[in-house]
């Protein structure tokens, strides 16, 4: 089946930029998503990108998609302590009814 | 707007007991799904539904049943709980097959 991989941990200093990376295997993916999970909470949709785009910017968030390398990244500018959370990358395959495949999540720790 | 509501928030079961995890959404979403979240494994799809009266299996369906008698509700049943079903369970919904998923806050289940 599809495989989505992320590194498990990332630490950055407050005010720096964070870059969270994700690789996936399904070349027919239609949408790729970034979700944020705070402790004890559900998953909050941060942003998503359609597979025919290579970049999307939304305030402090920038998503880059390299479809050739099947690589997705999320850049958070001016990282704040409130950004500390687990970030999940997910892909939606072309077949199937919105059945997302998730990475293991990257735990972002922001150091004051 | 309540969004996706899951009950209960926490549950402890003994091996062999049965229970139903409830999920309701008030957004008139056609698509609903159940995921389980285990440490180091991301989220895995259990069952999903593309509309009332229609359900199908996801990646890890064994030990779980679902039904979709109304658009709003999508309960998940454990007929005979096992310790391997200890996990955090998330319900999600979306307007259509290509719309972003909205998640509930999860049910933390422990089977002893």
Tell me whether residues B103 and A103 touch, CB distance under 8 A.
Answer: no
A11 pLDDT above the threshold of 90: yes
Task: Tell whether B60 lies on the interface with A, counting CB pairs under 8 A.
Answer: no
Task: Tell whether A23 lies on the interface with B, counting CB pairs under 8 A.
Answer: no
Q: Buried b / exposed e across B81-110, counting CB within 10 Å, b at 16+? A: beeebbbbbbbbbbeeeeebbbbbbbbebe
Mean pLDDT of the residues in chain A: 91
| Confidence at residue A39, expressed as pLDDT on a 0 to 100 scale | 87
| Confidence at residue A6, expressed as pLDDT on a 0 to 100 scale | 94
CA distance B16 to chain A (A): 27
Task: Tell whether A88 lies on the interface with B, counting CB pairs under 8 A.
Answer: yes
| Confidence at residue A97, expressed as pLDDT on a 0 to 100 scale | 56
Distance between CA atoms of residues B51 and B48, nearest Å: 9
Q: Which residue of A has its CA nearest to B58?
A: A99
B70 pLDDT above the threshold of 90: yes
**Higher model confidence: residue A3 or residue A83?**
A83
| Confidence at residue B81, expressed as pLDDT on a 0 to 100 scale | 97
Q: How many residues in chain A?
A: 112
Query: Considering only CA atoms, which of A73, A15, A97 is closest in space to residue B101?
Result: A97
Distance between CA atoms of residues A83 and B71, nearest Å: 34
Q: Which residue of B has its CA nearest to A34?
A: B100
Exposed / middle / buried, residue A20 (Cβ in 10 Å: 0-12, 13-18, 19+): buried
Once rounded to an integer, what is the mean pLDDT over residues B23-36? 96
**Higher model confidence: residue B96 or residue A89?**
A89
């Amino acid at each position: 089946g599809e495989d989505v991989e992320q590194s498990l941990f990332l630490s950055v200093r407050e005010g720096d930029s964070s870059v969270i990376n994700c690789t996936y295997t399904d070349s027919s993916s239609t949408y790729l998503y970034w979700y944020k999970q705070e402790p004890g909470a559900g998953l909050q949709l941060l942003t998503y990108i359609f597979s025919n785009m290579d970049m999307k910017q939304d305030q402090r968030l920038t998503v880059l998609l390299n479809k050739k390398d099947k690589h997705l990244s999320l850049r958070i500018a001016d990282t704040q302590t409130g950004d500390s959370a687990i970030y999940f990358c997910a892909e939606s395959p072309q077949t199937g009814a919105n059945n997302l495949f998730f990475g293991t999540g990257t735990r972002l720790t922001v150091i004051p | 707007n309540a969004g996706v509501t899951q009950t209960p928030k926490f549950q402890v079961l003994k091996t062999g007991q049965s229970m139903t995890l409830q999920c309701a959404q008030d957004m008139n979403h056609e698509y609903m799904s159940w995921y389980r979240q285990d440490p180091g494994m991301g989220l895995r799809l259990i069952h999903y539904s593309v509309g009332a009266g229609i359900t199908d299996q996801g990646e890890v369906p064994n030990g779980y049943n679902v039904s979709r008698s109304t658009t709003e509700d999508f309960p998940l049943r454990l007929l005979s709980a096992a310790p391997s079903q200890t996990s955090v369970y998330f319900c999600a919904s979306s307007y259509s097959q290509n719309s972003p998923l909205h998640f509930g806050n999860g049910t933390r289940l422990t089977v002893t």
